[in-house]
Chains A and B, each alone.
Chain A
Amino acid sequence: MKIGVIDYEAGNLTSVETALRYLQADYIISGKPEDFKHCSKIIFPGVGEASSAMNTLKIRKLDTFLRESFKEGLPILGICLGCQIVLDGSEENDTSCLGIVSGKAVRFDDSLNLKIPHMGWNQVKIEREHFLFEGIKTNSSFYFVHSYYPLLSDNSDTVGSTDYGIRFSSVFSYKNISAVQFHPEKSGEVGLRLLENFINYR
C-alpha cells in the first residue's frame, strides 16, 4: 500500500515526511508522475499561492496525473493548499484549478474583521461519519494556516466544519477524494491519528 506524496514545490514537505516516517508509512515523495506507478494512494499537500502551484502542476503533468488517479478511484488526501487546488478554482489570483470537487477557494471577507491568515488551533465539528475521523472526537483542535477557505457547491460533501467568523468546510470528501484545510502533520496526536486513518484505509 505505497503512498505517493506529490511534490510541486508548494511549501516544505519536511513535516509531512517526518510524520509519515514516524507512522512507519510506506511512501515516496516525487514530482514525477511515473514515480507513482506502484502507489495505491496519494497525498497532495502544499502551502503557498494557488496560481504558481497550478503552473508547476501543469509543467510536471501532475494535474493530469491527479485527475486520472481520481478517475481510477485511488484514495487521495488533499492537505491545506492541496485541499483548495482540487476545487474548480480559487479567488487567489483568479486561478483555475483541478475541478475534481465542485466549489472554489474564497478569501475570508475583510468585513468580518478577522486576523488574516487564520493561524493557530481551531476546532473541527464532525458533520458526518468518515474514516478520517475514526477515533477522533468532534470539536478536536487542529492547526490551521490559511487566508482562503473552501466554499463547496454541494454542502453535502462537507465532513467537518470550523468556525472563523463564518462556518466553513474544513474537511470534505467526494467519492475517493478527501481533503483537510488544516495541517494534520502539525496537529499533535489527533493529527497523527487522522493521517494514520488515511494510511490504514482499505
Chain B
Amino acid sequence: MLQKRIIVCLDVKDGRTTKGVKFQNNIDIGDPVSMAELYYKQGVDELVFYDITASSEKREIMIDVVRDVAKKIFIPFSVGGGIGSVEDMKKVIMAGAEKVSVNSLAVKNPSIIAEGARYFGSQCIVVGMDVKKDSTKESGYGIVINGGRTPVDLDALEWALQVQDLGAGEIVLNSIDADGTKNGYELKLTRMISGSVKIPVVASGGAGKPEHLTDVFREGLADAALIASMVHIDGYTVEGIKKVLAEEKIPVRL
C-alpha cells in the first residue's frame, strides 16, 4: 500500500537554513546540508529546499547546496524559489534535485508548467499554491502570490484543476491562513483540492503536533504533509512523528 509521505521543508537564504514567520524576521537555524542528512537519518521521505535568497547574484550558492545534498542523501528532494525559466529548472535538476517547484511564476506564466513537463516529465514539476479564504470565490478560497501578500483573481479549486491539465505532477497546497499558527492544517481546503484532482497533493501550513498530520491524512485526504518548525525548532523528530502516525494506523515508512 502506498505510504503517506512526510516532507521536511527548509527555507534557504544565502546558503543557510532560516526560519521566519510569514516571511519575516528570518533567523539562521543551520547548514542545510547537515540538516538534510540529519532528517534523512531520521527517516524523512522527501525534502523541499525553498530558496528565499533575494539577490540573483547569489543564486549559484543554492546550486552548490543542491549538489552537496545530492551526494549525501538518497531520497527525492525538490527545489523551489527563484525558478524563472526552463533553464533554471534544468540547473537544479542537473545538480541532482528530483523535482522543481514553481509558485508565483506559474500564476503569472502558466505555460511554464507545460514547458517544464514537456522537457522533464510531469513527475518533475511541482506547483506550489498559496491559498487564502476568499468568500467572493466559488470554492471559498482564492490564490495569493508573492509569499501570500498579493491576491490574484483565481479560484483555488479552478487553479488546481488547471495546473493538473497543464501537466503538473504534484501540488503543494499551502494555506496562508493556517501557516505559522501551529493549530493544524486547513482540513476543509485540503480535502476539497485533494479529492478533486488526480495528482498527489502535499498539505502545507499549520502543523504544530503529530496529531495534525494524522488529521490531514485522514480527514484532509492529503498524500503527503509538509512540516518545518516542528522539527527545526520545536524538538519533534521525523521518527517520533511517524511512530504516532503508525499507532493511528496511518501507513508510513518506518
For the complex, give the distance between the alpha carbons of A14 and B99 in Å: 13
Contact with A along B101-136 (1 / 0, CB 8 A): 000000000000000000011110000000000000
CB atoms of B96 and A115 under 8 A apart: no
Within 8 Å of chain B (Cβ to Cβ): is A143? yes
CB atoms of A18 and B3 under 8 A apart: no
Instruction: Give the most central of B2, B95, B123: most A CB within 10 Å.
Output: B2
B94 to chain A: which residues have CB within 8 Å?
Answer: 12, 14
Contact with A along B47-73 (1 / 0, CB 8 A): 000000000000000000000001100
Within 8 Å of chain A (Cβ to Cβ): is B199? yes
CB atoms of A121 and B3 under 8 A apart: yes
Within 8 Å of chain A (Cβ to Cβ): is B170? yes
CB atoms of B75 and A116 under 8 A apart: no
Q: Which residue of A lies closest to B40 (CB)?
A: A188
A117 to chain B: which residues have CB within 8 Å?
Answer: 122-123, 169, 199-200
For the complex, give the distance between the alpha carbons of A45 and B178 in Å: 41
Contact with B along A123-150 (1 / 0, CB 8 A): 1000000000000000001011100000
Known: A14-B70, A18-B70. A119 touches B75 (CB 8 A): no
Q: Chain B nearest CB: distance from A142 CB in Å?
A: 9
Chain B residue total in the interface (Cβ 8 A): 29
CB atoms of B96 and A18 under 8 A apart: yes
CB atoms of B98 and A186 under 8 A apart: yes
CB atoms of B93 and A120 under 8 A apart: no
Q: Chain B nearest CB: distance from A141 CB in Å?
A: 4
What is the predominant secondary structure among interface residues of chain A facing chain B? Answer: mixed
Q: Which of A48, A118, A188 contacts B74 (CB 8 A)?
A: A188
CB atoms of A120 and B75 under 8 A apart: no
For the complex, give the distance between the alpha carbons of A194 and B147 in Å: 41
For the complex, give the distance between the alpha carbons of A187 and B198 in Å: 24
For the complex, give the distance between the alpha carbons of A121 and B4 in Å: 8
Known: A14-B93, A187-B74. A120 touches B223 (CB 8 A): yes
Within 8 Å of chain B (Cβ to Cβ): is A164? yes
Q: Which of B70, B121, B123 contacts A15 (CB 8 A)?
A: B70
Q: Chain A nearest CB: distance from B43 CB in Å?
A: 8
Known: A119-B200, A121-B3. A47 touches B121 (CB 8 A): yes
CB atoms of A115 and B200 under 8 A apart: yes
Give 6 closest A-B pairs by Cβ, nearest first: A141-B253, A121-B253, A145-B123, A121-B3, A14-B96, A122-B2
A-B contact pairs, 30 of them (CB 8 A): A11-B121, A12-B93, A14-B93, A14-B96, A18-B71, A18-B96, A22-B74, A47-B123, A48-B121, A115-B198, A115-B200, A118-B2, A119-B123, A120-B2, A120-B3, A120-B4, A120-B5, A120-B200, A120-B223, A121-B2, A122-B2, A141-B253, A143-B75, A144-B2, A164-B1, A185-B74, A186-B74, A186-B76, A186-B98, A188-B75
